[in-house]
């Protein structure tokens, strides 16, 4: 963990989010690690993650609008689920239905922040059930505190100095907010309502919200004002303008 903390120092490679995520996961003895930065309320932006499993978990939380990361961001308290099979279904009803297909058995969310200042959430996932050891729990708290100090101290979020192609990988959910704005205008609804429509369409279609939003932004998909169904844009060659 001391080596991981050194990566957060200026000029020590903190811009390499993938390396920092992988090193943090190894130090904590978990299978995946992710950092999401707070945007508004319990909404967070996935900044970097170490594995596809941690990416899928973060994406699903955004799709269904609930989960331990959302709770940690909202309350500023740690939210741990050492065995997802034992989570009461009513706690995260939509998310719980997807647990069997996730390949994740345990989740540990550490809030990033001081007092009322919410910075984000550090989320660790494991492929096997079981609690963190006391040493792992202490290391998770140390890393969360170090990340909080880094961000509140004016440090650049990991990945900030990447080239444009890499930066697109860091801003995992930027396309979601772009699509939300487009749907808000197209359907004449508020931004929260537009995001709910995107979530509903993603969940009902069995696709990730990022995939749905990429289609919206690329104009391959347009949501129907009368429902959550697929109302694609007509091909450019057949599109006509009203007189």
Query: pTM to 2 decimals?
Result: 0.69
- Rounded to the nearest integer, the mean pLDDT of the chain is 79
Q: Is a pLDDT exceeding 90 seen at residue 228?
A: no
User: What's the rounded Cα separation, in Å, for the pair 218 and 202?
Assistant: 16
Q: What is the pLDDT of residues 160-170, one digit of tens each?
A: 333 333 334 44
Give the residue among 72, 85, 69 at the shortest CA–CA distance from 128: 85
Q: What is the pLDDT of residue 27?
A: 93
**pLDDT at 2 exceeding the cut of 50:** yes
More confident residue, 156 or 47: 47
Which one is predicted more confidently, 111 or 89?
A: 111
Confidence band of 173 (pLDDT split at 50, 70, 90): low
pLDDT at 10: 62
- Among candidates 76, 92, 35, 74, which has minimal Cα distance to 58? 35
Q: Residue 104's pLDDT is what?
A: 92
The confidence band for 122, taking pLDDT boundaries of 50, 70 and 90, is: very high
Q: Are 113 and 106 in contact (CB under 8 A)?
A: no
Calculate the CA 194 to chain-centre distance. Answer: 18
* Cα separation values, 119 from 74, 147, 221, Å: 11, 9, 33
Please say if the pLDDT value at position 68 is more than 80.
yes
Is pLDDT larger for residue 67 or for residue 210? 67
Angle between helices 174-187 and 209-217 (to 10 degrees): 60
User: Minimum mean pLDDT among 65-74, 141-150, 231-240: which range?
Assistant: 231-240
Higher pLDDT, 140 or 9: 140
Residue 157's pLDDT is: 44
């Amino acid at each position: 963990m001391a080596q991981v903390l050194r990566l957060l120092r200026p000029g020590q490679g903190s811009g390499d989010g993938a390396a920092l995520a992988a090193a943090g996961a190894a130090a904590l003895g978990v299978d995946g690690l992710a950092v999401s930065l707070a945007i508004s309320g319990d909404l967070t932006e996935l900044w970097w993650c170490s594995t596809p499993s941690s990416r899928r978990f973060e994406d699903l939380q955004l799709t269904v609008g609930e989960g331990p990361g959302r709770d940690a961001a909202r309350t500023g308290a740690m939210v741990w689920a050492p065995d997802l099979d034992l989570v009461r279904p009513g706690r995260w009803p939509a998310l719980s239905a997807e647990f069997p297909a996730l390949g994740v058995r345990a989740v540990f969310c550490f809030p990033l922040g001081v007092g009322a200042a919410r910075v984000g959430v550090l989320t660790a996932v494991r492929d096997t059930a079981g609690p963190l050891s006391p040493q792992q729990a202490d290391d998770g708290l140390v890393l969360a505190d170090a990340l909080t100090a880094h961000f509140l101290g004016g440090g650049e979020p990991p990945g900030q100095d990447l080239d444009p192609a890499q930066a697109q990988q860091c801003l995992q959910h930027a396309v979601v907010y772009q699509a939300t704005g487009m749907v808000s205008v197209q359907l004449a609804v508020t931004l929260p309502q537009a995001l709910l429509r995107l979530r509903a369409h993603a969940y009902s279609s069995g696709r990730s919200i990022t995939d749905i939003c990429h289609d919206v932004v690329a104009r391959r998909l347009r949501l129907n004002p009368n429902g959550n169904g697929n109302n694609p844009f007509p091909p450019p060659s057949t599109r006509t303008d009203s007189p």
